[in-house]
């Protein structure tokens, strides 16, 4: 991993050459939660599969280290950083390391003058110098987005307040109170754009006065990106649209249906503003040429297994698809999903799949997966049955539902699959 990370600035080359055509970057084992493009056009992706993808053309290299889903990635000025559900901010390079730690999931990152800012659902903003000790500033609610301004740091919060922190004094003042949670914020010298849970998409000046309102009947706003060279502000929402606003005259230049179903969780422009990169429920990052967006059909399918028609599946398969499939494969061999493969799970000791990085609580565990232990896992929930594990809370309250899941797993996990 160190050799890979140390060669990062060289190995990332290639995505810029794809800038004028529709492009897909395939290889992750879960939804794409974050995308970043550096000044050379190099693409990095953050995924639910616990990894950061680094793309040389369409051949990915993987940066592993997060112990849970990676929500955000930042590539700027030769730095590559990521933050995830494991509460950590990670700096990748010659010697990858944890730069800072929160008490809740890390949602967003920004950097300026050698200081990395992170937003977290623990209700704080982290300030982490690349050299030296960091600190956390209190916020009124979970922090969904952070952005630097002139002498200040802005934080968008789940309580609907956009906060401004004076970096000289750490004093915090609200810029606006929206009334619904604010998920995204973009800060420029002349204006601030923000997107909210209720679909609010507004542009204000630095004193909070409204400049423009692009709120449509689509919610929530989940992603934003800005390219200063083309004056383009991209906005992604929960209904699968990417709206592109021309900030030179405050008009909607494009309004593109990017997904057949599901949200647009991640957006980033290429350095020349010619390509918009996006991610959602698919295990794929997509790059569209902005100038011809209207010529494309939706690219992100959103056709995840847990969204399949329940009438087409047995009850056991339905339980697996809804509760397990986003994290676990049933096929033998390595998997890029967030959890280890369940192939051959019956009779296997917990924490025993080669090559998978388990939480300390499962290393050397005496649990063996049987009908009884799997039943107990979903009856009590992983947070009670194996406290401290990376497995998210999943409870199946019905005894028959658990029995049907176990029967399906016993059949599907022992089949030979290519």
Per-residue pLDDT tens for 398-418? 999 999 999 999 999 886 443
Q: What is the mean pLDDT of residues 315-332?
A: 88
Whether 300 maps to a domain, the answer reads: no
Task: Say if residue 291 is in the same domain as residue 316.
Answer: no
Q: What is the mean pLDDT of residues 54-83?
A: 92
pLDDT value of position 367: 93
Whether 113 maps to a domain, the answer reads: yes
Task: Say if residue 183 is in the same domain as residue 40.
Answer: yes
Task: Say if residue 251 is in the same domain as residue 325.
Answer: no
For residue 398, give every residue at least 6 positions away whose Cβ sits within 8 Å of its Cβ, in sequence order, or none. none
Task: Say if residue 117 is in the same domain as residue 249.
Answer: yes
Number of domains in the chain: 2
Residue 20: pLDDT band with limits 50, 70, 90: low
Whether 145 maps to a domain, the answer reads: yes
Task: Say if residue 236 is in the same domain as residue 261.
Answer: yes
Task: Say if residue 346 is in the same domain as residue 220.
Answer: no
**pLDDT tens, 97-142?**
999 999 999 999 999 999 999 999 999 999 999 999 999 999 999 9
CATH of the domain at 383: 1.10.760.10
Q: Which of 275, 295, 315 is the last residue of a domain?
A: 295
Whether 39 maps to a domain, the answer reads: yes
Q: Which of 260, 295, 330 is the last residue of a domain?
A: 295
Rounded CA separation 336/339 (Å) = 8
**pLDDT tens, 331-340?**
887 788 888 9
CATH of the domain at 217: 2.130.10.10
Task: Say if residue 371 is in the same domain as residue 250.
Answer: no
Q: What is the mean pLDDT of residues 169-191?
A: 97
Whether 417 maps to a domain, the answer reads: no
To the nearest 10°, report the CA torsion of 132, 87, 348, 367: 100
Task: Say if residue 384 is in the same domain as residue 277.
Answer: no
Judging by DSSP bridges, how do beta strands 143-149 and 152-157 pair with one another?
Answer: antiparallel
Rounded CA separation 64/322 (Å) = 26
Domain with 185, as residue range(s), is 2-295
The model carries a pTM of 0.83
pLDDT value of position 357: 82
């Amino acid at each position: 991993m160190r050799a890979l990370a140390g060669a990062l600035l060289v190995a990332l080359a290639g995505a810029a050459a794809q800038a004028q055509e529709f492009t897909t970057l395939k290889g992750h084992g879960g939804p794409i939660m974050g995308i970043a493009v550096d000044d050379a056009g190099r693409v990095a992706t953050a995924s639910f599969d616990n990894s950061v993808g680094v793309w040389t053309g369409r051949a990915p290299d993987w940066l592993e280290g997060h112990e849970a889903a990676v929500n955000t990635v930042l590539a700027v000025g030769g730095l590559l950083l990521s933050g995830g559900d494991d509460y950590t901010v990670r700096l990748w390079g010659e010697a990858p390391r944890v730069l800072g730690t929160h008490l809740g999931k890390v949602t967003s990152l920004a950097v300026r003058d050698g200081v990395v800012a992170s937003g977290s659902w623990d209700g704080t903003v982290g300030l982490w110098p690349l050299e030296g000790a960091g600190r956390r500033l209190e916020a009124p609610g979970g922090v969904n987005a952070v952005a630097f301004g002139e002498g200040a740091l802005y934080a968008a919060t789940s309580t609907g307040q956009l906060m401004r922190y004076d970096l000289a004094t750490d004093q915090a003042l609200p810029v606006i109170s929206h009334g619904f949670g604010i998920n995204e914020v973009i800060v420029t010298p002349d204006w601030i754009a923000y997107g909210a849970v209720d679909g609010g998409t507004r542009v204000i000046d630095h004193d909070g006065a409204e400049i423009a309102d692009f709120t449509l009947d689509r919610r929530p706003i989940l992603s934003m990106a800005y390219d200063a060279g083309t004056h383009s502000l991209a906005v992604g929402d929960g209904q699968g649209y990417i709206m592109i606003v021309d900030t030179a005259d405050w008009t909607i230049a494009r309004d593109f249906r990017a997904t057949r179903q599901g949200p647009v969780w991640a957006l980033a422009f290429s350095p020349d503003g010619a390509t918009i990169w996006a991610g959602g429920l698919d295990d794929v990052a997509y790059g569209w040429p902005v100038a011809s967006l209207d010529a494309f059909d939706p690219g992100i399918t959103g056709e995840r297994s847990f969204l399949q028609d329940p009438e087409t599946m047995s009850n056991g398969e339905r339980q697996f698809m809804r509760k397990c499939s986003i994290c676990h494969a049933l096929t033998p061999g390595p998997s890029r999903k967030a959890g280890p493969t369940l192939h051959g799970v019956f009779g296997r000791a917990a924490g025993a799949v080669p090559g998978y990085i388990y939480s300390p609580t499962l290393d050397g565990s005496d649990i063996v997966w049987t009908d009884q232990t799997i039943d107990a896992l979903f009856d009590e929930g992983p947070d009670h049955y194996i406290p401290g594990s990376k497995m998210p809370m999943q409870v199946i309250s019905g005894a028959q539902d658990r029995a049907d899941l176990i029967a399906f797993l016993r059949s599907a996990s022992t089949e030979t699959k290519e």
